[in-house]
Amino acid sequence: MDVTISPGPVGGTVPAPPSKSYTHRAILAAGCGQRAVVADPLWSADTRATARAVEAFGGAVERRTDGALEIQGFEGTPAVPADVIDCANSGTTMRLVTAIAALADGTTVLTGDESLRSRPQGPLLDALSELGATARSTRGNGQAPLIVDGSMAGGTVSIPGDVSSQYVTALLVAGALTDAGIDLRLETELKSAPYVEVTRELLADFGVETRETADGFAVAGGQSYHPADDTYAVPGDFSSISYLLAAGAVAGGDASGATAGTGEGTLEITGARPSAQGDSAIVEHVAEFGAPVEWDRDDGTLTIDPAPLSGIEVSVADTPDLLPTLAVLGAVADGETSIVDAEHVRYKETDRIDAMASELAKLGVETTEERDSLTVHGDESTLTGATVDGHGDHRIVMALAVAALVADGETTIRGAEHVDVSFPDFFDAFESLGVVVDRHE
């Protein structure tokens, strides 16, 4: 599907979509237990992949009419899957499920789409093999398809921290179900550290204890998964909130004639309650750009008014998913915006540094791309409508949609259907805020 977006103002109230990160972990944690209900989940292409994996291991996932998921788990002992587990485009699914596969008393094969089959899994495979399983890439390059033979006993293992925090998450989730537990030592500084805190927060909610050590993390074995009252409620997703906040910061200004602080063009986001999500840093970043934003943490409400923006320097070492949003804000801001500590952003669904540089160029934005950074020259740029490509990446599509709101002329985004990965109702949300969206094949 392609979409064409007409420039114009935004305003109104919109709910935050549920967190993809928490939903993945909640589905798998419930699957590792006996029975649980996951309330307010994100039901998207990625999280459906995790649900299918739970079913492949012998669990059952039923979606109720209220959207909640009733999950019958495999009680800490995953069955050997009857077929290959297809993780589609979900890197989180593949990494977490690969570790769970190491607990099965037999062979599990995992694969995914072309993009997922190009992403690095080698350090996790090596770690699982050191812990008593056998895990390898069919092509010997550390990439899917993967073959995992259990069962993993646990123990002490070292793993790099600067490739993906999902390796740490995977070992903590599975380690609780081993006999010996896992003492995980980081060989390098941990990138995207808040995602590990998301994992530890959720595991605690399911009754699983973890601890931070002097050189990494540890989880005791022999534990079981059981949330209080058999129910876990998923919080709102700040990665997805970032696009809504950015839209409020840029599209209520010149396009609407609104004045900052007057309430004209104000955008309100509900369901934005505090959690361990690192991407909640977007609230601070938007304020640093110069947009007046208020966060009622108790009520979970964000409000943002339009304002002239000025470029900033920001690190995405712990918040890689924010780079596309920050790049668009930089394109609208006066001066330069430097997004640094970003090399790991190249190993997502696509190389997001290169993708944003190339697509923003089509819209008339000047950028400078380095291996670990992206500098956006807002003062040298004039956003002009064009046809751009989403690179099969939900976050690129949504960021470009924000840019389209303030471009001169219509913007067509190819491959817009990929928003289904994390924010299936994204374009519906945009329309509810007054955006003109034309969907077409």
Separation between Cα atoms, residue 252 and residue 260, nearest integer Å: 9
Q: Which residues of the chain have pLDDT under 50?
A: 253-264
Separation between Cα atoms, residue 91 and residue 270, nearest integer Å: 28
What is the pLDDT at residue 192?
86
Separation between Cα atoms, residue 270 and residue 302, nearest integer Å: 7
User: Is residue 348 a known part of a binding site?
Assistant: yes
User: Is residue 119 a known part of a binding site?
Assistant: yes
User: Is residue 395 a known part of a binding site?
Assistant: yes
The residue type of 436 is V
Angle 122-130/91-101 helices, nearest 10 degrees?
A: 10
User: Is residue 166 a known part of a binding site?
Assistant: yes
Residues annotated catalytic, as ranges: 321
User: Is residue 321 a known part of a binding site?
Assistant: yes
Helix (H) or strand (E) run with residue 171 in it: helix 165-175
For 141, residues 6+ apart whose C-beta sits below 8 A from its C-beta are 122
Angle 281-289/323-332 helices, nearest 10 degrees?
A: 10
Query: Tokens for 249?
Result: 């910061």
Per-domain residue ranges of the chain: 2-17+236-440, 20-233
CATH architecture of 2-17+236-440: Alpha-beta prism (3.65)
User: Is residue 239 a known part of a binding site?
Assistant: no
What is the pLDDT at residue 252?
65
Separation between Cα atoms, residue 372 and residue 346, nearest integer Å: 9
pTM of the model: 0.85
User: Is residue 21 a known part of a binding site?
Assistant: yes
Separation between Cα atoms, residue 111 and residue 115, nearest integer Å: 11
Q: Which fold has domain 20-233?
A: UDP-n-acetylglucosamine1-carboxyvinyl-transferase; Chain (3.65.10)
